[in-house]
Amino acid sequence: MSGGPVLATEGLVVGYRRRGREVVVLRGVELAARAGELVAVVGPNGAGKSTLLRTVVGAQGALAGRVLLGGEDVGGLSARERARRVAVMLTEPVDVGLMSVEAVVALGRLPYRSWLGGRGERDQEVVDRALVDAGVGSLRDRVLSDLSDGERQRVMLARALAQEPAVLVLDEPTAFLDVARRIELAAVLSRLAATSGMAIVLSTHDLGFALRRADQVWLVRGQSVTASAPEDLAYSGAIADCFAGENMTFDDAAATVVVADNSTPGATVRVDAEGRLRHWAEHAVRRAGCTPTTGDSSLTLKIEPDARWWVDGAEGVGFGALVTHLRKSGSTAR
């Protein structure tokens, strides 16, 4: 990435004032996001992710330090100027009555229009492009309240795009979406970061998405924020330290936190398979409490593409039946 950051913080102290005293949530925050970057903000519940994002977009004042948009202090910008530089998508649904999708998206042009001015040719071009970029062009005449959660979320994304911001900030954009819609929205955001020139900053509980897709991860923990490439944070152990608990551990291969298996390991099983078949056979072996291996073992699992398997003189069909068999017999073999 070239050029200076479109969003930066300097000595930022994030928090709030309660009954005349300051409550610090995060301190000494030094961050930078550049054009074209996708930045994922991750951390445990209550760590301060949403408070950080509210401060960054100017919705909440900083206790100390500065937030810079294109090199200018956000505190010195008017609401109209902020809206031209940064667009915000929050988790809470927006009630817009019976407005059509196109009318909702057109609200993103308000920072560029006078209170009495109508929608001009340039505004219409931007709205049309935003509808297409967010994948809701075919919904433009529908009423927003009639749409599914996933469709409404993409309409609000189109509204944000219509602001033509340098920075797009999203707070838990996939929180209320099903798995398919989460994947769909994640793909749209990744594409927009790569093609639009915006910096996209989003908070998420989807650690796998953050590690697979983000150019930067801002790891929020213990009143501080660590910013780095996802691989650096994972390799250094920072991700594991942040999320791993008594019954949790970070799985490098899966790039996510998993429930730790603290039970006594069962048998070692040599898995005789390749590709996806091998992957899911090994998954079943681990779920049964055994350890898959490529070396010598007293147990060898042979499995066919139709999931018919043979092991330890027994045979069956399906991974579920395999797990049941290994759980019964695996504890007796070492």
Q: What is the predicted pLDDT for the residue at 267? A: 83
288 C-beta neighbours (distance < 10 Å), count = 23
How confident is residue 17, by pLDDT bands cut at 50, 70 and 90? confident
- Read off the pTM: 0.81
pLDDT digits (tens, 9 = 90+) for 262-314: 555 668 999 999 999 999 999 999 888 888 988 888 899 999 999 999 998 89
Unique residue bearing structure tokens 């910013």: 227
Report how far apart, in Å, the C-alpha atoms of 127 and of each of 51, 103, 163, 170, 210 are: 30, 9, 9, 20, 29
- Does the pLDDT value for residue 332 go beyond 50? no
pLDDT digits (tens, 9 = 90+) for 54-113: 999 988 899 999 999 999 999 889 999 999 999 998 766 666 678 999 999 999 999 988
Looking at domain 7-245, its CATH class is: alpha beta
Q: Report d(CA 227, CA 182) in Å as an integer.
A: 24
Residue 162, burial from CB neighbour count under 10 angstroms (0-12, 13-18, 19+): buried
Tokens describing residue 143? 């009423």
Residue 86 near residue 57, CB atoms below 8 Å: yes
Name every residue whose Cβ is closer than 8 Å to that of residue 255 and which is 6 or more positions away in sequence.
Answer: 207, 208, 211, 212, 234
| Strand ranges across the sheet with 72-73 | 21-33, 7-18, 64-69, 72-73
